[in-house]
């Protein structure tokens, strides 16, 4: 069984820190919170971890011996290793340093003892985070506003960026009001991405192409569209394979039921083909980058929408 975040938090507080962790999942701001906690506990408040980005498995194999060798470093260090490639198996690297692996996918082949999923975050935790950020910047806000933001943001993975831009826009103003939040929600990257997915599911080709052009014009990275699609498609699958009563008893079930009508209009076969399109699009992004990505996606979608 994977290590739960609550267990890791307790271990950090108690000083019971291992020398190897795998942070997997797409919620980067949640990873940052725990990285900061590890930095303060392992290094002290004034020290920061060393960040490395790896592009392939060969680089990982080449660097493992150096990471485990304490003789190369004058003091203990945290090495934050970002895996910019899909890795199928991760076993602990034994070291007096702290090795922190950062990867997007949580796979069953990872050593579960050291794996901490940074995903499937509950509403209560999200609301606390919004309140924390507002309080940190000494902003005044209605008690219901954090809940409103969480309910209307399509994907928690983008919460940090949304709050950063909102705080920056507010400047010296103290009061954050709902009208300001609504303005930012309408222009949030994930909201624009949501418009694309809605047009695709409606099989409205002109609108789909227009919304994709909007993403490109606003310089929104294609990975945001992929993440938004994954969230929506997973909710539609649940709607198609689970009874309404069961969904109602799920945590955040009301968010899933919002897509019941969409689920009724699309067959599982059509949805499977659509998921495959975005899976291949995601692979394309990881291999070649974002240049020309939206044009490629248009070509992939035209056939699916037209059939």
For 8, other C-beta atoms within 10 Å of its C-beta total 19
Which pLDDT does position 73 carry in this prediction?
Answer: 47
Whether residues 70 and 83 fall in one domain: yes
Half-sphere exposure for 199 (CA within 13 Å, toward CB): 21
Domain boundary (89, 117, 145) is at: 117
Nearest to 281 by CA among 304, 264, 256, 255: 304
**Domain total for the chain?**
3
Q: How far apart are CA 29 and CA 226, in angstroms?
A: 18
Q: How far apart are CA 105 and CA 88, in angstroms?
A: 9
Which pLDDT does position 208 carry in this prediction?
Answer: 92
Domain boundary (69, 92, 117) is at: 117
Which pLDDT does position 159 carry in this prediction?
Answer: 84
Asked whether the beta carbons of 117 and 24 are under 8 A apart, the reply is: yes
What digits encode the pLDDT tens for the residues 21-73? Answer: 999 988 888 999 999 999 999 888 778 888 888 888 888 888 887 776 654 44
Q: How far apart are CA 131 and CA 127, in angstroms?
A: 6
Range 62-89 average pLDDT = 76
Whether residues 257 and 289 fall in one domain: yes
Whether residues 207 and 281 fall in one domain: yes
Query: Which string of b and e fits 63-90 if b means at least 16 CB within 10 Å?
Result: eeeebbeeeeeeeebbbbbbbeeebeeb
Range 276-282 average pLDDT = 92
Whether residues 135 and 231 fall in one domain: no
- Give, in order, the Cα–Cα distances in Å from 249 to each of 123, 223, 239, 256, 271: 15, 31, 13, 11, 25
Domain boundary (171, 186, 201) is at: 186
What digits encode the pLDDT tens for the residues 147-198? Answer: 999 888 767 777 887 888 888 888 888 999 999 888 877 766 666 788 899 8
State the residue range of the domain holding 150.
Answer: 123-186
Tokens describing residue 221: 């990275």
Q: How far apart are CA 163 and CA 181, in angstroms?
A: 10
Tokens describing residue 194: 């949501």
Instruction: Please say if the pLDDT value at position 86 is more than 90.
Output: no
Q: How far apart are CA 107 and CA 87, in angstroms?
A: 9
Tokens describing residue 164: 């950063």
Tokens describing residue 110: 């990872």
pLDDT higher at 262 or 65: 262
| Secondary structure (DSSP) of 111-125 | -GGGEEE-----HHH
């Amino acid at each position: 069984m994977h290590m739960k975040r609550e267990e890791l938090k307790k271990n950090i507080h108690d000083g019971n820190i291992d020398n190897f962790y795998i942070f997997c999942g797409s919620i980067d701001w949640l990873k940052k919170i725990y990285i900061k906690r590890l930095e303060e506990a392992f290094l002290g408040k004034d020290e920061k971890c060393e960040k490395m980005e790896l592009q392939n498995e060969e680089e990982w194999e080449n660097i493992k011996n150096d990471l485990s060798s304490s003789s190369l470093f004058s003091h203990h260090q945290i090495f934050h290793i970002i895996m910019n490639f899909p890795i199928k198996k991760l076993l602990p690297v034994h070291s007096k340093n702290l090795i922190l692996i950062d990867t997007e996918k949580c796979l069953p082949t990872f050593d579960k003892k050291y794996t901490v999923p940074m995903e499937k975050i509950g509403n209560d935790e999200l609301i606390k985070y919004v309140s924390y950020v507002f309080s940190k910047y000494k902003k005044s806000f209605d008690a219901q506003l954090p809940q409103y933001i969480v309910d209307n943001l399509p994907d928690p993975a983008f919460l940090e960026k949304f709050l950063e831009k909102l705080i920056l826009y507010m400047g010296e103003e103290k009061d954050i009001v709902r009208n300001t939040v609504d303005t930012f929600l309408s222009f949030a990257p994930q909201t624009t991405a949501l418009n694309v997915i809605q047009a695709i599911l409606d099989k409205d080709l002109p609108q789909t192409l227009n919304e994709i052009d909007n993403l490109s014009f606003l310089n929104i990275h294609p990975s945001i569209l992929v993440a938004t699609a994954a969230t929506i498609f997973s909710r539609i699958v649940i709607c198609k394979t689970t009874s309404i009563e069961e969904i109602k008893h799920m945590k955040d079930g009301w968010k899933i039921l919002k897509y019941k009508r969409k689920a009724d209009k699309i067959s599982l076969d059509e949805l499977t083909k659509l998921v495959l399109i975005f899976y291949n699009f995601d692979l394309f992004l990881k291999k070649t980058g974002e240049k020309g990505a939206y044009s490629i996606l248009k070509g992939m979608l035209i056939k699916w929408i037209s059939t």
